[in-house]
Amino acid sequence: MGRSYAVLGTGAIGGFYGARLQQAGLEMHFLLRRDYEYVQRNGLAISSIQGDFTLPKVKGYNSVKDMPRCDVVLIALKSTHNHLLAQLLPPLVKDGSVVLTLQNGLGIEPKIAALVGQSVEVLGGLCFICSNKNGPGQIRHIDYGQIQLAAYGLNYQPQGITTAMRQIATDFERANIPIKLEENLLLARWQKLVWNIPFNGLSVVLDATTDAIMADRHGQKMAEKLMREVVAIAARYGLNIPESFIQNRLEDTVKMKPYRTSMKIDYD
């Protein structure tokens, strides 16, 4: 029997990945807020470079009290809403559950681990995806989609590749979601910040999409300078990110379809 999943935050990230998992046959339960009535009537609609699809029926809820305890809980809330996790998580987990946070930032996993206890494994998922929420129950997937998966250990000690990571990777691969397993969560998080900090910030300051930043010589230089600053800070924590990583990320951004970052959308 397959694993059951709860999705906290059915937006650009949780809505897309959750819908793909349901499309692949996994048991999915979605926590909805403002979209609840719309999704109950119309389901979830995904517009994707990999093919559009609609889920006419989803198991949607407007309260975790009505949701079952699940094998895996996906956290896809904005991290500014993490103060709600103390109320949202406990009703959804059981001994042996796994909590996978798909959020950006540092210091997220220790707080989650403190809420769920030692019988629940905590994983970090770093999403390399361009996706937006266009309206109630409507997600637009623009480019990419890979998730880097790593396990959290006390004080971010590397945990290697765990059984839970392999099991979840199998589910995601079944849904045609590319997965890369990482041994060091903290290093993976800093690597993600090498792109997130420059391009999220500059998209707001310059009022620009990613392609516009890279097309402007001054914008590209600012992005590269900020990337080097992030790499330098990571090095202070003993985390080595090579020069080639910066160049690869810049090249990836040039190839990327024009993208309005999540911070730019929030700011606008």
CA distance 233 to 229: 6
For 74, phi and psi rounded to 5 degrees? Answer: -95, 120
Rounded to 5°, the CA angle 203-207-208 comes to: 60
CA distance 81 to 84: 6
* One-letter amino acid of 47: S
SS3 labels along 182-196:
CCCHHHHHHHHHHHH
Residue 257 designated active-site: no
Q: How many CB atoms lie within 10 A of CB 6?
A: 29
Task: Count Cα atoms within 13 angstroms, Cβ side, for 239.
Answer: 22
Task: Indicate which residue of 180, 192, 221, 264 is catalytic.
Answer: 192
CA distance 256 to 254: 6
Instruction: Give the CA distances from residue 107 to residues 100, 121, 157, 190, 195, in Å, rounded to whole numbers and listed in that order.
Output: 14, 16, 13, 11, 18
* Residues 124 and 104: beta-carbon distance below 8 Å: no
* Residues 146 and 26: beta-carbon distance below 8 Å: no
What torsion do the CA atoms of 38, 39, 42, 46 make, to the nearest 10 degrees? 120
Which residue numbers are catalytic? Answer: 192
